[in-house]
Structure 1
Amino acid sequence: MTRSFDTLVLATDGSDGATLAADHAVSLAGAFDATLHVLGVVPPYEGPDNGETRDHVHSSRRRRAEAFVETVANRARGRGVDVVSAVGSGVVHRTVLDYAESNDADLVLVGSHGRSGLAETLFGSTAARVVTGATAPVLVAGGPRTKQPDYETILLPTDGSTGADAAVRHAEALATAFDATVHVLYVVDVSVFDPDVVVDLIGGYERMGARVTSEVGSRFETADIETVTAVRRGRPARTVLDYAAEIDADLITMGTHGASGLESLLLGSTTERVLRAAERPVLTVHARPATVE
C-alpha cells in the first residue's frame, strides 16, 4: 500500500543544514498537498547561573528562532502550502519528538549540520535521537543546496526485512509524486564471510539478492514506476554511498531495522554510517514505533 505524507514537521535552528531541510520540506509539502509545521526550538540555557544573563540569552534565541520560522513559513505560503508556525523551548530532540507525536506527523525533516557546523556533532546528538526516537519517517537533509529539490532518482537499499519493506512503501509514494526512477539495491556483505568459504557462500547470497530486488522491483513496476535493480558486493554502507554517487541519487530511502531485527545494530552500523557520510538527503523509515531516552 502506498503511503502519503499529509502532515510534515520541519525542525529548524536557522543553520545552513536547517535551510536545506526547509527547501525539501517546502518541495514535499507542495507535491503532497500537505500541511507543513515549521518548528523552531529554543534550547535550554547552559551558561553561568545568572538569571539576567539566562533571560537575555533565551530571549535572543527565541527572537532568532521566530524570525527564521516566519521566513520559512512565508516562503512556503508563497508556494501555496498550508503552514503552521511554532516555536518551542526545551531539550531539542525531545521537543521535536513530542511535537511530531502530538501532531501525528507523517514525516519529520531535520538538517544534517546544525549551528556547530559539524555533521558528526549534530548527528551524534539531536539528529540521531530524532531518527532513533521518531515513530514517523525522518528525512535528514544533507548535500548541496539547490533552488528546488527534486527526486528524479531514488535509491532504495533493501535486504528483504520488515524494515526495508516499510521503506518500500514510502519510496513508492515519493516516486509516484515526482515521477522518479527507483534503484533497488541489495548488498552482499563480503566482510562477514570467512575467506576460505566466501566463494561457496557468496553465490547463494547473490541469488537471494536477485530474488529480493526482483520482488521489490515488481511492486514498483505494477505501480508504473520505472525501476532498476542491482546486486553488489562490498561493505553495506560504503557500497550504498558509492552506488548513490554513481547514479547521482536525489534521495536514499532506507529502513532502520534490518534483517537482524535489532534497531541498535543496524542504526549503529549501516544506516548510521550512511547518514553520517551521505552527501545527499536520506529518508529513514522505522518498521515499528521507536523509543528514545
Structure 2
Amino acid sequence: MNGINRVLLATDASAASDNAAHVARKIASLESADLHVVLAHVLRGAAGEVDQALLNDDRNRLATLQADIGDRVTVALEYGYSAARTIVSYARSHLIDLIAIGTHGRGSFARFFVGSVAAEVLRTAHTPVIVAGPEAQPATSGFGCVLAAVDFSDASKEVLRYAATIAYRCNARLVAVHVIDNTRVPGYAQVQAAQNRDDQALAELNSFVKAADLQTEADTHIKVGAVHDQIVATGREYNAELICTGSSGQGALGYRLLGSVADRVVRTSDAPVLVHRHADAHKVLDA
C-alpha cells in the first residue's frame, strides 16, 4: 500500500466516537501522518438554515476534542446538507488516505443504519474506512493482532497487503483467513470431501499469501461456515484488534456493501473494522 500521510477522524464528538478517535490517533502516530478531525454540521431546510444553539454546541465539543488531542491536529467544522457527503468531500479535497468513523452501537447499528452517516461514507469514500463501534476495545499502543479476510481476488490481495503494512509498522501478528462458505456448497457435510476441500483451500491460501510478497509473515487459516460469522469469530479467537476486509472483488467480498460480507462484519465485530475499497469500485461509483 502507499503510505498513509493524512488520516481523517469523522466525529460528532460524542462518546460513541471515542473508539474511532483512538484508532485514528493510533494509526496517525504509527505512520507519522497528519491527523484531521472533522465535525459535519448539517444544515436544515431549503435555505440552509443554521440552528445556532446546535452550532454553538458543535463548536464547544470540537474545541474540547482539540484540547484533548493536542497541537498536531487540523480541526474543521464543515457545513452541508448531508454529513456523509460533507465528510467524503473534505476527504477528497484534502487528499485524505484513511477515514475513521464511529458508530452508535448495536441497537441502531443492527439495521446497518440504512441512509446513515457511516454507511454512506463506506459506500462513497475513495479511501479505506475504519469503522469502530462502542464495543471495540482498541489496544493502548499499536495493534497486537491484525486479521485480514481474503477470498483470493485481486481486491483481497490489496486488503492483505494493507493489513500486512499496518501489522509490520506496529510489530503485530498478522492472521490471514479464508472462509469456505458451507451455506453455498452442496454436500459439504461429507467428511472426506470436506477435508480435501480444506487442504486444497489452505494450499491456495498459502500460495496467495506468498504471491502477495508481504512485509511480514502471516499465519494462515481456513474456516468453514457463514463468511461474516467466521471472520468475526476468528477475530475473537485470535484477539484481533483490527479486522481488514474488502468491499470489492470477484469472490465473497462483493462490491455492494448493503447485505454484503463487509457490511455484516462491520455490524457484528467487537474490533474496529477497516473496509478497503478496490479501485474498480471507484470506477463503478463514478460512472
TM, length-normalised to structure 2: 0.86
SS in 1 for 2:119: helix
Of the candidates 221, 235, 238, which is equivalent to residue 230 of structure 1?
A: 221
Q: Considering only aligned residues, what root-mean-square deviation do their CA atoms show, in Å? A: 2.9
Q: How many residues align?
A: 280
The alpha-carbon deviation at position 89 of structure 1 amounts to: 1.6
Q: Is 1:69 the counterpart of 2:68 in the alignment? A: no
Read off the aligned partner of 1:179 and give its amino acid letter: N
List gaps (5 residues or longer) in structure 1.
none
* Larger proportion of helix: 1
Residue by residue over 1:95-152, the C-alpha shift from the partner in whole angstroms, topping out at 9 and shown as x without a partner, is 11111111111100100228x9722366432111111111100000123455735311
Of the candidates 149, 152, 163, which is equivalent to residue 160 of structure 1?
A: 152
Residue by residue over 1:169-204, the C-alpha shift from the partner in whole angstroms, topping out at 9 and shown as x without a partner, is 211221111111011101110000223896686456
Match of 2:185 in 1: 193
Residue by residue over 1:31-89, the C-alpha shift from the partner in whole angstroms, topping out at 9 and shown as x without a partner, is 1110111000112336xx999xx64xx222222222333333333336xxx32111112
Match of 1:118 in 2: 108
Mapping of residues 41-120 of structure 1, within 5 Å? 41-45=40-44, 55=50, 58-77=51-70, 82-90=72-80, 91-113=82-104, 118-120=108-110
Q: 1:236 to 1:122 in 2, by over 3 A?
A: closer
List gaps (5 residues or longer) in structure 2.
none
Worse-superposed segment, 169-178 or 253-262: 253-262
Residue by residue over 1:254-290, the C-alpha shift from the partner in whole angstroms, topping out at 9 and shown as x without a partner, is 11113248412x6522111111111110000011153
Of the candidates 247, 254, 261, which is equivalent to residue 256 of structure 1?
A: 247
- Whole-Å separation in 2 of the counterparts to 1:147 and 1:61: 33
SS in 2 for 1:271: helix
- Whole-Å separation in 1 of the counterparts to 2:158 and 2:66: 30
Q: Is 1:170 the counterpart of 2:180 in the alignment? A: no
Q: Matched residues, percent identical?
A: 25
Read off the aligned partner of 2:28 and give its amino acid letter: A
- Whole-Å separation in 1 of the counterparts to 2:7 and 2:87: 12
Q: Is 1:269 the counterpart of 2:240 in the alignment? A: no
SS in 2 for 1:132: helix
Read off the aligned partner of 1:64 and give its amino acid letter: D
Q: 1:24 to 1:38 in 2, by over 3 A?
A: same
Q: 1:196 to 1:30 in 2, by over 3 A?
A: closer
- Whole-Å separation in 2 of the counterparts to 1:215 and 1:30: 33
- Whole-Å separation in 2 of the counterparts to 1:148 and 1:74: 19
Q: 1:117 to 1:279 in 2, by over 3 A?
A: same
The alpha-carbon deviation at position 18 of structure 1 amounts to: 1.2
Q: Is 1:138 the counterpart of 2:129 in the alignment? A: yes
SS in 1 for 2:73: strand
TM, length-normalised to structure 1: 0.84
Match of 2:230 in 1: 239
